[in-house]
Amino acid sequence: MMTDGSASSPPPATVDGEPPRQLAAVAPGEPPLLVPLVPAPAPGDLPSRFPSPFAHDGPHPLALRAARALLDELTQATGPLDAQDGGEPLVRLRLTEGKMFAVLVAEARGGTIGYLRAFSGMLEGRWQVPGFVPPLFDEAAREPWWTQAQAQLGRWQEELAELRVGTAALAQEDAWRALQQRQQRELEAMSDEHRERRAQRHRERAGPPPEGPPAARAAWLHSLDQQSRGDKAQRRRQEAAHAEERQALESARTSRAQQVEHLEQLRAGRSAAFQRQLFELYVVPGADGSARPLRELFAPQEPPSGAGDCAGPKLLGYALRHGLRPLALAELWWGPPPPGGGRHHGQFYPACRGKCGPLLPAMLEGLDVDPAPVFGVPQDAPASHDSQDAPASHDSQDAQASHASQEARVSHDLHDAQPPRTPDERRPSRPGAAFELCLVYEDPWLLVIDKPCGLLSVPGRTPELRDSVLTRLRQRYPEARGPLLVHRLDLDTSGLLIAAKHAATHADLQRQFAQRQVQKRYLAWLDGQITGACGTVELALRPDLDDRPRQIYDPIHGKAAVTRWRVLRVEAAHTLVELQPSTGRTHQLRVHAAHPLGLGAPICGDRLYGRLAPRQGSVIDALDHPLDHPLDHPLDHTLGHPLDHPRRHPLDYAHDHALGHPLDHTLGHPLAAPRLLLHASELCLRHPSTGELLTFCSNAPFPGEAPPAET
C-alpha cells in the first residue's frame, strides 16, 4: 500500500526475487516521498548521465527496478491503494480508463538512492494522492478563483447542453424532421401524379391527331402544352407554401443556433483566460537553479492544455525542489488503451513532444543528459538509423544494381544487374556510413527505388535530417524537373518508391494514386496473433497534436483510412500479414495494426505504436511473475524474450522468464526486432507514357516466411 510518508512509515522493499515487494521505509531527513531502493545500487549501476526522456529504447535498469515496484503496487490497487491511520476508509484504484504513470530514480543529499512516483493529470478526480508527488502548481493559490471559474464554465456548459439536447431543443428538432418528411411525401406524391400525366400527354402526342382543320390540331397541341405548364406552376405554388410553412420553425432553429455559437465563443474565451491564469501558477524549476514561468517556455505560443501536468515534469519538479539529483526516468501506461490507440498496458513510452518537449529540457539544464533522439533515433546511434553522409554513388552500374531481395516484373529485363547481395551487405557497416539507394527500374519517364529502413523519403527541417531519397535523387538526376517523388514511405518502412523525371509524368502518377488506381502491397510481421484470415480495417486517423508524429484514431475529426489485410503465416507469437492500403494516411498501416479496433497486434519493431525495447522490453515482460490486468483484461503471456539474439543488450536478460514456446532466431523476438518489420513489397500501376501495366516487386529484407520452429 502507498502512504504519504507522514502518517506512518511504509514497510521495506525488496527486489530481485525476494518477496514480498513492499515500499521501503523513508530515510530520516529525506524528502517524504522518496522511496529508497533496497538493496542500495552499487556505484557502477548508476547511469553516467541522465538518459534522454525522449528515447525509445526502454528505461535504464535502475528505473526498471523502480517501475517493477510501482507495477506491484498498481497490481494490488484493485485492493487498497492507500490507507490512513485513524480508521479512515481505504481508497481503491478503479482505473476505469488507462493512465500514464512514471517513476524517477534520484539521489538525495545524504547519498540515498530512491525513487519517486507520479501519474499524469488527475487520478480518480484528485490532483494529490498519498504516495505520489503533487502537481507543479500550488493548489492553495489556485482555489480562491478556480472553483468559481469552474462553476461559471459549468453553467455555460449546462446552458449549451440544454440548447443542444434539452427537452425543448429535441422537440423542436422532432417537429422539424416531421415537417420535412411530410413536405417530402407531398412533393413525391405530386411528382408521381405529374409523371403519370406527362406520360399520358406523350401517348396522346404519339397517337393519331384529332380530325378537323389545322386550327383544331393547333388548339389540341396548345392544350397539352398548357397542361405541362400547369403542372410546373402547381409545383412552384406547393414549394412556396412549404417554404412559408417552414419559416417560423426555421427562424426558431436559427435563433437557437446563434445562441449556441454565442455561448461557445463566450465559454471558449473565458476558458482560455482561465487557462492562462492557471498557467501563471506553474513555476518550472531547473537543475541549474533557475525557476521560470511555464508560459515563458512555450512563448510565443500559449502552452497546450494540460502542459505541466504530465508525470515527468511533476517528478522532476518535486525532485529539484527537494534537492534531489535526478538519475533516470521511466513512464509506463497502465490500463486499457485510450480511444485513439497508441498505448498498451504495461508498456514503457518516451515523454510526449507536444507538452513535455519544451519543459523537460529546461528542467534538466545543468545536468549531463543524453542527446534527444532525432525522429526517435539518437544522434549518435548506429548507422542502421538516420544517415547524415553523402548520397550513394552516381556510378551507372551501381545505380542499376539488383540484389536477392529485389525483383522487377516489367516489360523488359535489366541486363546490367550486379551480383545479388544479402540484406546485411546493403546495411552500412559503420556509424555514419551512407545507406545504399538501390534502383529497381528506370526508363526515360520514371524510376522505382527500393528504400532502406532508416532513410527519410524527403529531407527534414534540420541539417542532420537532410539526407533522404529525394536529396539523393536531386543530385543523381540534376536535369529532372518537377517534384520527383510521387509518394512517400515512413522513415522506418523499407520498400518500393516511385519517382517521376518530368512534371507531366509526376502529375499523371499522382492522379493514379489519388484515384486509387495504384495497387500497393506490404508485408509485415505482427507482434501477436490475430483473429480471422482476412478482412478490412476502417479507422479514421489524425495527428496526435500533443505527441507528433504519432497518429491516433478519431472517428469525428480524423480522415478516412482503409486497409485490407490477409494472414499469410502464423509462427508462435508472430503473424505474417499482407496489407493493402486503399488510402495513404501517415502511419496508417502501423495504427491499423496496433489499434484494438483494428488488428490489435502492433507491427514488430514499431517504436511508436508497439512494445518498447530492444533494451528492456515492457515492464510486464521484465517481471518474474504474471500480472493480472486491473480491469479483467487478460494480458498476453505468450510473449517472452528470445534465449539469444546478437543485437540485444546483455541487460535484456536480467529478468527473462521462460514461456515454453519455440522462437525464431532469424526474426528474433518482436521486442528485439532491430527495425520495423514493414516492407512495401509490390507496386502495380499504368505507365504514364506507354499505357502499359507495370508491376514492381521487392522481397522483404527480413524473413518473408517464418522458418520451422525449433525442436
Residues identified as active-site:
490
Identify the H or E element spanning 577. Answer: strand 574-581
Place of cell 401524379: 193
Sign of CA dihedral 603, 606, 609, 613: positive
- Secondary structure of residue 164 in the 3-state scheme: helix
CA distance linking residue 652 with residue 670, whole number of Å: 13
Helix H, strand E, coil C: the string for 322-371 is CCCEEEEEEEEEECCCCCCCCCCCCCECCCCCCCCCCHHHHHHCCCCECC
- 169: region left, alpha or beta (phi > 0 left; psi from -120 to 50 alpha): alpha
Q: Give the three cell numbers for residue 591.
A: 495504427
8-state DSSP, 485:
B
Give the closest residue to 331 by CA, choosing from 318, 343, 317: 343
* Cβ atoms 165, 290 nearer than 8 A: no
Buried residues in 27-51 as b, exposed as e (16+ CB within 10 A): eeebbebbbbbbeebeeeeeeeebb
* Cβ atoms 63, 330 nearer than 8 A: yes
Strands 678-686 and 494-500: parallel
Q: Percent helix, strand and coil across the chain, each rounded to 5? A: 30, 20, 50
CA distance linking residue 23 with residue 560, whole number of Å: 48
* Cβ atoms 92, 418 nearer than 8 A: no
Give the closest residue to 105 by CA, choosing from 291, 308, 325: 325
- 342: region left, alpha or beta (phi > 0 left; psi from -120 to 50 alpha): left
* Cβ atoms 183, 242 nearer than 8 A: yes
* Cβ atoms 180, 242 nearer than 8 A: no
CA distance linking residue 614 with residue 671, whole number of Å: 6
